[in-house]
Structure 1
Amino acid sequence: MNVQGLSEREIFSYLENAKSEDTDYYRVLSSMCTHPHKIAAEAHRLFIEANLGDTGLFAGAHRLEQEVVRMLGELLHAPSIDVPSGDSCESSVCGYLTTGGTESNIQAVRGMKNLVTAGKEGLKGTPNIVIPESAHFSFDKVADMMGIEVRRASLDSEFKVDLTSVESHINANTIGLVGIAGNTEFGQVDPIDELSEIALENEIFLHVDAAFGGFVIPFFEKPQPFDFKVPGVTSIAIDPHKMGLSTIPSGALLFRSPSFMDSLKVNTPYLTTKSQFTLTGTRSGASAAATCAVMKYLGHEGYRKNVQYCMQLTVKLVTEARKIGFEPLLEPVMNVVALKVPDPDLVREQLLERFGWNVSITRTPRALRLVLMPHNTPEDIEIFLQDLKKVTAEI
Structure 2
Amino acid sequence: MEETGISREEILSILKNAKSADTRYERVLSSMCTYPHEIAVLAHTQFIEANMGDPGLFPGTYHLEKQVLKMFGSLLHHKNNPENCGYLTTGGTESNIQAIRSMVNGRRDIKNPNVVMPESAHFSFDKVADLSGVEIRKASLDKTLKVDIDSVRSLINENTIGLVGIAGTTEFGQVDPIEELSEIALEKGLFLHVDAAFGGFVLPFMGVRYRYDFAVEGVTSMTIDPHKMGLSTIPSGGLMFRRSEYLDDLEIHTPYLSISKQYSLTGTRSGAAVASTYAVMRHLGKEGYRRVVGQCMEQTQNIVTGAGEMGIGTVIDPVMNVLALRVPNADDVRKRLLDEFGWHVSITRNPRALRLVVMPHIAGDIVELFLNDLEKLI
The CA distance in 2 between the partners of 1:388 and 1:223, in whole Å, is: 33
Residue 82 of structure 1 deviates from its aligned partner by 4.2
**Contact kept? 2:26, 2:361, Cα under 8 Å:** yes
Alignment of 1:282-321 (within 5 A): 282-321=268-307
Provide the residue aligned with 2:91 in structure 1: 100
- Residue among 228, 231, 237 paired with 1:245: 231
Provide the residue aligned with 2:129 in structure 1: 143
Residue 222 of structure 1 deviates from its aligned partner by 2.1
The CA distance in 2 between the partners of 1:8 and 1:289, in whole Å, is: 28
- Residue among 165, 170, 184 paired with 1:184: 170
Alignment of 1:1-395 (within 5 A): 1-84=1-84, 94-117=85-108, 121=109, 123=110, 125-392=111-378
Q: Deviations over 1:10-64 (max 9, x none)?
A: 1011111111111000101111000000000000000000000111100011011
The CA distance in 2 between the partners of 1:82 and 1:295, in whole Å, is: 16
Q: Deviations over 1:279-306 (max 9, x none)?
A: 1110000000000000000001000111
Residue 332 of structure 1 deviates from its aligned partner by 0.2
**Contact kept? 1:115, 1:263, Cα under 8 Å:** yes
Q: TM-score, normalised by structure 1?
A: 0.95
The CA distance in 2 between the partners of 1:250 and 1:43, in whole Å, is: 13
The CA distance in 2 between the partners of 1:82 and 1:375, in whole Å, is: 31
SS of the equivalent of 1:10 reads helix
**Contact kept? 1:69, 1:81, Cα under 8 Å:** no
Aligned length: 378
- What amino acid sits opposite 1:384 in the alignment? F
The CA distance in 2 between the partners of 1:333 and 1:168, in whole Å, is: 27
- What amino acid sits opposite 2:213 in the alignment? D
SS of the equivalent of 1:305 reads helix
Q: Deviations over 1:77-123 (max 9, x none)?
A: 00122445xxxxxxxxx010000000000000000000011xxx4x3
The CA distance in 2 between the partners of 1:258 and 1:244, in whole Å, is: 24
**4+ runs deviating over 4 angstroms:** none
Residue 180 of structure 1 deviates from its aligned partner by 0.2
Residue 342 of structure 1 deviates from its aligned partner by 1.1
The CA distance in 2 between the partners of 1:81 and 1:15, in whole Å, is: 44
Give the aligned CA root-mean-square deviation in angstroms: 0.8
Q: TM-score, normalised by structure 2?
A: 0.99
- What amino acid sits opposite 1:66 in the alignment? K
**Contact kept? 2:80, 2:242, Cα under 8 Å:** no
- What amino acid sits opposite 1:7 in the alignment? S
The CA distance in 2 between the partners of 1:244 and 1:149, in whole Å, is: 32
Provide the residue aligned with 1:88 in structure 2: none
SS of the equivalent of 2:56 reads coil
The CA distance in 2 between the partners of 1:263 and 1:80, in whole Å, is: 18
SS of the equivalent of 1:52 reads coil
**Contact kept? 1:81, 1:95, Cα under 8 Å:** no
